[in-house]
């Protein structure tokens, strides 16, 4: 029996496709920068079907690339070997919210927005938010340990996952759920699958933690004449009780949003910081005191009601929209010690000026975690120049004590640079774990390892 026949047997004829147009569409990432080749699409409808699909592919010697919402920014779902594409799109169950224990069980193919809606309807909030919320799936977000706008308050995606089902490369399913918050009965396998980018198994179901909705919220956007003053303020703000967002936006980002979306920064200063506090009690006075202590370029804009807060968030939200106005930007997602943010901004700008003089370098991101996004807008380079620039940037980051990969993960885009952030022994240990779960290396072969 051919692999196709075997897969049809497992999932039913409606859920296997070899249509060339379908496969071509799924073989390019959503930025259009990275393109691969797939042989077949299979869409299993349950954890057991996922496991059976994996076993069949392994036995047939086929490579498998897992696809969720396909919002990876590091080519995490681009097949390289005529792979079988395993889509999680049918794993769409949204369970009831357990209000008492603040949790919900969902399928891996459920979008972030759907989880947010379910939480909201129950008077709770989900701890992760990011721009791709309407497409990104919780399975992919767990597999990449996604971060986002609320990490400073609630942690990353991994910290929201309190249970999961995973189909392993050997075709078995590990179901790891606990009704309690403390569970020290053996290895923390869940953490191993979080951030493993699908190389150790396919997450099919997740129990997600939900949080009480804060009763009170206050937001401010403040401007700084120099980056050191912003970093100093950010360092103070991130230690505050109730810190709920801490977003940097540079002048080029707000110039782009003004030009293309008609949304302008509400305050003076080349460097802007959006800060939000939330909690059980009114935080307005505490925020005002903290802003008084910061070296601002002018008066901050403070929003105490929802409408004003939404206006303050507009520039930050619009940044994601305008990055692509001149075609796919060249993206760098990095983590830096706060003390390295200023040196990085300066040296990265120099690098760009030298190697991509026509590009517009846009810097924004999550100051609480030192997690910055540098986007080179209008960056059209030949492959060699792009590669040289990319590598030089990775070296710059590693040299400043940063991580070459932050909330976007490694994908295939950064696999050659992992050794800048991880030692040989560390990578050898990772390979040992990979070999323990997937000795033939057929699952998500393009990502993480070079």
Give every CB contact of residue 273 below 8 A, 6+ residues apart in sequence. 221, 222, 223, 224, 230, 233, 234, 237, 246, 247, 248, 249, 367
Least distance in angstroms from the C-beta of 6 to a copy of itself: 22
Q: Whole-number minimum distance, CB 263 to a copy of itself, in Å?
A: 27
Tokens encoding 379: 């960056």
Tokens representing 383 are 């492959």
| Choice between 5 and 188, CB closer to a copy of itself | 188
SS3 state of residue 293: helix
Query: What is the signed CA dihedral for 423, 396, 78, 366, rounded to 10 degrees?
Result: 100
Closer Cβ to a copy of itself, 260 or 295, answer by number: 295
Cα–Cα distance for residue pair 203/280, rounded to 1 Å? 35
The minimum distance between CB 277 and a copy of itself, in angstroms, equals: 10
Report whether 431 contacts 449 (CB < 8 A): yes
Cα separation values, 444 from 138, 257, 259, 401, Å: 18, 37, 40, 29
Nearer to a copy of itself, 23 or 196 (CB): 196
> Using CA atoms, how far apart are residues 305 and 181, in angstroms rounded to an integer?
35
Smallest gap from Cβ 282 to a copy of itself, in A, equals 11
Nearer to a copy of itself, 12 or 439 (CB): 439
Nearest distance from C-beta of residue 20 to a copy of itself, angstroms? 34
Q: At closest approach, how far in Å is the CB of 42 from a copy of itself?
A: 22
**What distance in Å separates the CA atoms of residue 366 and residue 150, rounded to the nearest whole number?**
9
Residue closer to a copy of itself by CB (options 327, 337) is 337
Strand ranges across the sheet with 371-377: 301-303, 216-224, 271-279, 243-250, 360-366, 371-377, 330-335
Can you give the length of the chain in residues?
A: 450
Q: Closest distance between a copy of itself and the C-beta of residue 303, in Å?
A: 20
Residue number with CB closer to a copy of itself (158 or 329): 158
**For residues 20 and 432, which CB has a smaller minimum distance to a copy of itself in the complex?**
432
By beta-carbon proximity to a copy of itself, the closer residue of 168 and 275 is 168
Asked if residue 176 lies in contact with residue 163, where contact means CB atoms within 8 angstroms, the answer is yes
What is the distance between the alpha carbons of residues 328 and 229, in angstroms, rounded to a whole number?
Answer: 32
CB of residue 302 vs a copy of itself: minimum separation in angstroms? 18
């Amino acid at each position: 029996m051919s692999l196709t026949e075997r897969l049809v047997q497992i999932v039913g004829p409606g859920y296997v496709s070899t249509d060339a147009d379908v496969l071509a569409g799924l073989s390019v990432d959503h930025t259009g920068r990275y393109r691969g080749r797939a042989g077949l699409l299979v869409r299993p409808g349950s954890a057991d079907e996922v496991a059976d699909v994996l076993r069949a592919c392994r036995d047939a010697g086929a490579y498998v690339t897992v696809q969720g919402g396909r919002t990876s920014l590091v080519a995490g779902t681009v097949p390289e070997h005529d792979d079988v594409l395993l889509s999680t799109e049918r794993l769409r169950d949204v369970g009831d919210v357990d209000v008492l224990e603040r949790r919900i069980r969902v399928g891996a193919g459920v979008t972030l927005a759907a989880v947010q809606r379910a939480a909201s309807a129950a008077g709770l909030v989900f701890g992760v938010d990011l721009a791709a919320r309407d497409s990104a799936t919780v399975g992919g977000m767990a597999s990449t340990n996604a971060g986002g706008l609320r990490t400073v308050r609630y942690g990353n995606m991994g910290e929201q996952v309190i249970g999961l089902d995973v189909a392993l490369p050997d075709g078995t399913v590990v179901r790891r759920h606990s009704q309690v918050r403390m569970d020290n009965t053996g290895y923390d396998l869940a953490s191993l699958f979080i951030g493993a980018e699908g190389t150790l198994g396919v997450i099919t179901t997740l129990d997600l933690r939900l949080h009480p909705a804060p009763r009170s919220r206050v937001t401010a956007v403040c401007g700084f004449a120099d980056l050191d003053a912003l970093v100093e303020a950010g360092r103070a703000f991130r230690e505050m009780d109730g810190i709920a967002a801490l977003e940097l936006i540079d002048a080029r980002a707000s110039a782009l949003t003004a030009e293309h979306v008609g949304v302008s920064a509400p305050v003076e200063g080349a460097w802007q910081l959006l800060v939000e506090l939330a909690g059980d009690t009114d935080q307005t006075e505490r925020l005002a005191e903290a802003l008084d202590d910061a070296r601002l370029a002018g008066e901050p804009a403070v929003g105490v009601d929802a409408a004003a807060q939404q206006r303050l968030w507009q520039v930050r939200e619009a940044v994601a929209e305008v990055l692509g106005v001149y075609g796919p930007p060249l993206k760098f997602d990095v983590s830096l010690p706060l003390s390295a943010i200023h040196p990085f901004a300066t040296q990265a700008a120099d690098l760009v000026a030298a190697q991509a003089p026509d590009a517009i370098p846009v810097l924004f991101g999550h100051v609480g975690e030192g997690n910055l996004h540098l986007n080179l807008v209008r960056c059209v380079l030949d492959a060699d120049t792009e590669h040289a620039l990319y590598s030089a940037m990775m070296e710059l980051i590693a040299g400043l004590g940063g991580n070459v990969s932050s909330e976007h993960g490694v994908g295939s885009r950064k696999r050659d640079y992992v050794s800048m952030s991880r030692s040989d022994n560390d990578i050898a240990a990772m390979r040992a774990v990979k070999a323990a779960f997937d000795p033939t290396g057929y699952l998500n072969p393009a990502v993480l390892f070079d």
